[in-house]
């Protein structure tokens, strides 16, 4: 488990490197990715914020889009047992830090453990590791990015969409998700010539509407908890593929917004690697 | 960066709101039951937002087409990511493809 956490944190460091480099290449001073990485500590939303603002969008609208991406932390908190404190919910600084380091990785590792002490240990180890690696990578990346001036010649403008794409690929393997994502992308592209920057991305959300009308799937888990071992047809394949590439840190982190266990992917990954 | 004050306000909004999400789930845990379906919907919405971000940043610049080099690089990165290449390989291949195409005169 420790090795898996270390590999995950290393991958976070690499994503942080590209985040910092992309932020300064997009015209932000170093302190923006540095402060964001510490204070927000949620990669996908930070990428989204930087992307919308760099395209000329309103920073408040960009923050709201980022919050939509981060809304998944609410079900995370619902799914976790009391792991932010030694006895029951923690108090004071422990509660605050423990809450702040709630992220995709720490939640996935915590849910994969069997007993409460194990869950707490995994949660804190991974949470604090990400708290160090994500900002560290972002600052390093920003320093490297500052040294490069002609970003087009080095293809740095292609890095940002490639990073986001790599992060959502695990989700896109689900056919329904792929279809709605493509529909959303098409809406955004069609709207780009006509709408102010930043809005086309938000307009893409209309693609979620058809999902609202679908019949809810049969839920087997107890109410109030995210099912821990959601078995999907692809979970076995994912774990198998993981076993084949244990030395690829970049392939390890699941999409940072996946609900752990809700689709079986995230949970299976850490289990499969053990 | 055009307006530092506004950007700082946006950053503060994102940071405070994210912390509120992290805290409220724990506080609500004992009081409400949250349907897993809502979690799935949130997840789908997040993926849609990010996919739209990929499409617009890869293919457009301002209100027009970005040229061929950038989306070609992103496509190479996407194919590599689909084939489970390491993250670093994906990112470097995307940048290198765009850079080489530009070196060859493709815009």
Per-residue 3-state assignment (H helix, E strand, C coil) for chain A = CHHHHHHHHHHHHHHHHHHHHHHHHCCCCCHHHHHHHHHCCCHHHHHHHHHHHHCCCCHHHHHHHHHHHHCCHHHHHHHCCCCCCCCCCCCHHHHHHHHHCCCHHHHHHHHHCCCHHHHHHHHHHHHHHHHHHHHHHHHHHHHHHHHCCCCCCCCHHHHHHHHHHHHHHHHHCCHHHHHHHHHHHHHHHHHCCCCCCCHHHHHHHHHHHHHHCCCCCCCCCCCCCCCCCCCCCCHHHHHHHHHHCCCCHHHCCCCCCCCCCCCCHHHHHHHHHC
Determine which of A175-184, A204-213, A262-271 has the lowest per-residue pLDDT on average: A262-271
Say if CB B102 and CB A155 are below 8 A apart: yes
Mean pLDDT of all residues in A176-196: 93
Comparison of pLDDT for A178 and A77, the residue scoring more: A178
* Confidence check: pLDDT of A40 > 90: yes
Name the burial class of residue B71, with classes exposed (0-12), middle (13-18) and buried (19+) by CB atoms within 10 angstroms of its CB: buried
Determine which of A42-46, A168-172, A176-180, A255-259 has the lowest per-residue pLDDT on average: A255-259
Going by pLDDT thresholds of 50, 70 and 90, the confidence category of residue A149 is low
| A 80-99: CB under 8 A from B | 80, 84, 89, 99
Name the burial class of residue A247, with classes exposed (0-12), middle (13-18) and buried (19+) by CB atoms within 10 angstroms of its CB: exposed
* Confidence check: pLDDT of A274 > 70: no
Task: Tell if the CB–CB gap between A188 and B7 is shorter than 8 Å.
Answer: no
Nearest CB partner across the interface for A76, out of B25, B41, B51: B25
Q: Which domain holds residue A158?
A: 2-273
Number of neighbours of residue B65 by Cβ within 10 angstroms = 13
Q: Which token pair is A147? A: 């040294």
Going by pLDDT thresholds of 50, 70 and 90, the confidence category of residue A90 is low
- At A216 the pLDDT is 56
- d(CA A132, nearest CA chain B) in Å: 17
Number of domains in chain A: 1
Question: What value of ipTM does the predicted structure carry?
Answer: 0.84
- CA–CA separation, B34 and A75 (whole Å): 7
* Confidence check: pLDDT of A151 > 70: no
- At A94 the pLDDT is 84
Task: Tell if the CB–CB gap between A77 and B21 is shorter than 8 Å.
Answer: yes
Nearest CB partner across the interface for B78, out of A100, A165, A207: A165
- At B50 the pLDDT is 83
Nearest CB partner across the interface for B26, out of A28, A45, A89: A89
Nearest CB partner across the interface for A205, out of B21, B45, B97: B45
- Interface probe for B, chosen from A14, A59, A93 (most Cβ of B below 10 Å), is A59
What pLDDT digit, counting tens, does each position of B33-78 carry?
Answer: 667 777 678 778 878 888 998 999 899 887 889 899 999 999 999 9
Indicate the SS3 state at residue B65.
strand
Query: What are the C-alpha distances in Å from A134 to residues A58, A174, A177, A215, B19?
Result: 25, 28, 27, 39, 17
- Interface probe for B, chosen from A56, A82, A119, A166 (most Cβ of B below 10 Å), is A166
How many residues can be counted in chain B? 107
Per CB-CB distance under 8 Å, the chain B contacts of A40 are 11, 14-15, 18
Nearest CB partner across the interface for B6, out of A55, A59, A200: A59
Mean pLDDT of all residues in A133-137: 96
* Confidence check: pLDDT of A116 > 80: yes
Per CB-CB distance under 8 Å, the chain A contacts of B73 are 155, 158, 162
Task: Tell if the CB–CB gap between B48 and A208 is shorter than 8 Å.
Answer: yes
Alpha carbon of residue B102 to chain centroid: 24
Task: Tell if the CB–CB gap between A171 and B47 is shorter than 8 Å.
Answer: yes
Mean pLDDT of chain A: 76
Mean pLDDT of all residues in B21-31: 84
Angle, CA of B90, B93 and B99, to the nearest 5°: 145
* Confidence check: pLDDT of A36 > 90: yes
Task: Tell if the CB–CB gap between B52 and A166 is shorter than 8 Å.
Answer: no
- At A20 the pLDDT is 93
* Confidence check: pLDDT of A127 > 70: yes
**Percent share of chain A, pLDDT over 70:** 73
- At A227 the pLDDT is 41
- At A154 the pLDDT is 80
């Amino acid at each position: 488990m420790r090795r898996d956490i270390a590999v995950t944190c290393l991958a976070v460091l690499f994503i942080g490197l590209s985040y910092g480099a992309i932020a300064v290449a997009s015209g932000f001073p170093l302190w923006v990715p540095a402060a964001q990485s510490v204070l927000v500590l949620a990669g996908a939303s930070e990428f989204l914020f930087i992307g919308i603002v760099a395209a000329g969008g309103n920073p408040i609208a960009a923050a709201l889009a980022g919050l939509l991406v981060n809304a998944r932390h609410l079900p995370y908190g619902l799914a976790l047992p009391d792991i932010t404190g030694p006895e029951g919910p923690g108090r004071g600084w422990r509660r605050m830090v423990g809450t702040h380091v709630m992220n995709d990785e720490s939640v996935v590792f915590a849910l994969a453990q069997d007993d409460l002490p194990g869950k707490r240990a995994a949660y804190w180890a991974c949470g604090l590791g990400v708290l160090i690696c994500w900002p560290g990578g972002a600052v390093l990346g920003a320093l490297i990015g500052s040294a490069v001036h002609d970003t087009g010649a080095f293809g740095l403008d292609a890095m940002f969409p490639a990073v986001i794409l790599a992060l959502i690929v695990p989700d896109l393997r689900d056919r329904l998700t792929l279809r709605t994502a493509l529909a959303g992308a098409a809406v955004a592209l069609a709207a780009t010539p006509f709408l102010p920057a930043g809005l086309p991305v938000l307009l893409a959300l209309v693609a979620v509407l058809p999902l609202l009308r679908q019949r809810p799937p049969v839920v087997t888990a107890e109410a109030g908890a995210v099912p821990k071992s959601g078995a999907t047809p692809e979970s076995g394949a994912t774990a198998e593929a993981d076993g084949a590439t244990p030395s690829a840190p970049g392939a390890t982190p699941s999409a940072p917004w996946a609900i752990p266990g809700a689709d079986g992917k995230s949970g299976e990954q850490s289990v499969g690697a053990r | 960066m055009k307006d530092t004050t506004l950007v700082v306000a946006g950053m503060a909004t994102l940071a405070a709101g994210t912390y509120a999400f992290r805290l409220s789930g724990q506080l609500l845990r004992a009081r409400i039951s949250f349907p897993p379906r809502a979690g799935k919907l949130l997840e789908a919405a997040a993926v849609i937002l990010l996919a739209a971000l990929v499409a617009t940043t890869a293919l457009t610049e301002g209100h027009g087409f970005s040229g061929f080099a950038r989306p070609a690089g992103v496509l190479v990165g996407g194919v590599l990511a689909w084939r489970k290449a390491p993250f670093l390989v994906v990112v470097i291949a995307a940048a290198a493809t765009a850079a080489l195409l530009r070196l060859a005169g493709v815009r």
